[in-house]
Amino acid sequence: MNPVLYLKQLILICLLLQGCSSGKSEDKESQEATEVNISKSVFGALPDGRSADLYTLKNANGMVVKISNYGGTITYWSAPDKEGKYADITLGCDSLQGYLKGVPYFGALIGRYGNRIANGKFTLEGKAYLLAKNNGVNALHGGIKGFDKVLWEATPVDGEEPQLMLKYISADGEEGYPGTLTTEVTYTLLKDNSLKIEYSAATDKATVVNLTNHAYFNLSGDMSREILDHEVSIKADKFLPVNETLIPTGELKSVSGTVFDFNKSTKIGTGINNLKDQQIVYGKGYDHCWVFSDTSKTLKSVAKVYEPASGRLMEVLTTEPAIQFYSGNFLDGTIKGKGGIVYKHRSGLCLETQHYPDSPNQSGFPSTVLKPGERYNTVTVYKFSAN
Ligand code: BGC
């Protein structure tokens, strides 16, 4: 063959080959790019006509978390059992209407102040503030219309670890709290089956802030069952005893020798009905705040919940100093949840990472005051595995 022709043919073959291979990698890239790990659908209409959305986050393992921008509410959260089978492990409603009817904070973001403030009032920088009272004489979880009942501005971020960024601007004076508070919460579904929740806030006037999430867990995946066989461990040597309206007395009490000692993994049912303990009587079970022995503000493992039948294990990590362990004592069978299942007494438990309740009135507690120019930043992770 003519050497020039041979060379030309060789170049042509090379170009063709190159074209094919680059075409292949483009195909792969475009395939990866079109794989969507977060999608959006309409959740329903609010009474004022605004539409609430539902975002579905999924990771490569098959874990799915659904979050609405109404209340930043987690409506669905699947986790694997020891056979690798995924099931929904959180309480909630099938539709927005269910949440609008009124539910005890299922899966919702809580703010601006999670937990109770005594008599719905506090004084800050010499000025007295009166809050909306929605729990007897006290203010609970941000008031009558807390962050669980507002529509957040949502920005989905797609990727292998999909994110939902939520933002809400709470007006100065909302529910009685001072200062315009701009709050941002980012949910990220990680590759290792963790859901990371990052909270951030800034104010234009001194105020108090204590943000958390109020998911109810039943790791059996069967919400008609009680959570009494779940085994809990909390790395806390102390808890906060409360009065009859569940306001901390101010004492940090040793858990040692009490049914509040969860340093070793213990079945919830073991001590929950020990009515000889006045604190169990006041809480109608567990409804208390545990103070972590590790007081560092870094992200640390603080609690675990294990459900023996399914083998599901949930680990809680946080930068916060405390956790409210609430054993669903006020669930009373009057709410029908997802799939028409009746949520009976103690069919879900909450582990709400936070600062101590009533801190604005308790000088001995770590401060929850946020001032202009400062930034509130906390992180909590719920990590799932099975064994
Ligand atoms: C509180 C409970 C309350 C529940 C639902 C929890 O965080 O500690 O006392 O009943 O939220 O409102």
Average pLDDT over residues 193-210: 98
User: Per-residue pLDDT for 217 more than 60?
Assistant: yes
The best mutation among 73, 287, 323, 324 to test binding of ligand 1, ranked by most ligand atoms within 8 Å of the C-beta, falls on 287
The best mutation among 141, 288, 352 to test binding of ligand 1, ranked by most ligand atoms within 8 Å of the C-beta, falls on 141
207 CA distance to ligand 1 middle (Å) = 23
CB-CB neighbours of 64 under 10 Å: 16
pLDDT digits (tens, 9 = 90+) for 295-309: 999 999 999 999 999
Is residue 214 part of the annotated active site? The answer reads: yes
pTM of the model: 0.91
pLDDT digits (tens, 9 = 90+) for 131-188: 999 999 999 999 999 999 999 999 999 999 999 999 999 999 999 999 999 999 999 9
Is residue 352 part of the annotated active site? The answer reads: yes
Average pLDDT over residues 343-350: 98
pLDDT at 2: 52
